[in-house]
Amino acid sequence: MSYFQRHIFFCLNQRDNGENSCAQHGAQAGFDHCKSRVKKLGLAGPGGVRVNKAGCLDRCAGGPVAVVYPDAVWYSFVDNSDIDEIVESHLKNGEVVERLVLPANIGK
């Protein structure tokens, strides 16, 4: 059994050269909200869920993005209600939130 049941990584990359990056699209707020919801629901910790910061995940065109492992499901989110749905459906119950899944052709 893995140490964490699920791991979600949020790209928090900030580019200061004018190029697009997740930090310009609410990535930090999404990360903070996810972390707090996971904690509040008692999902955090060994055997549960870990919420982590990440640098650029190379799918900037869909930003802000987050990826859930070991399922390897990529999400693009807009606001806290999207995060709530990812936490409740996927991180808690293992059900992918199809409407927020990043299309396969979205890259840099």
Say if residue 29 is exposed, middle or buried (CB neighbours under 10 Å; 0-12, 13-18, 19+): middle
C-alpha to C-alpha distance for 92 and 86, rounded to whole angstroms: 8
CB of 26 to ligand FES, least distance (A): 12
**Chain residues 43-72 in contact with ligand FES, contact rule CB under 6 A:** 56-60, 63, 65
| CB nearer ligand FES, residue 61 or residue 96 | 61
C-alpha to C-alpha distance for 8 and 73, rounded to whole angstroms: 9
**Chain residues 19-38 in contact with ligand FES, contact rule CB under 6 A:** 21-22
| CB nearer ligand FES, residue 59 or residue 90 | 59
Tell me which of 8, 11, 38, 73 binds ligand FES, using CB under 6 A. Answer: 11
C-alpha to C-alpha distance for 73 and 98, rounded to whole angstroms: 10
**Helices (H), ranges, 42-93:** 80-85
Kindly list the residues in this chain that would bind ligand FES in the complex (CB under 6 A).
11, 13, 21-22, 56-60, 63, 65
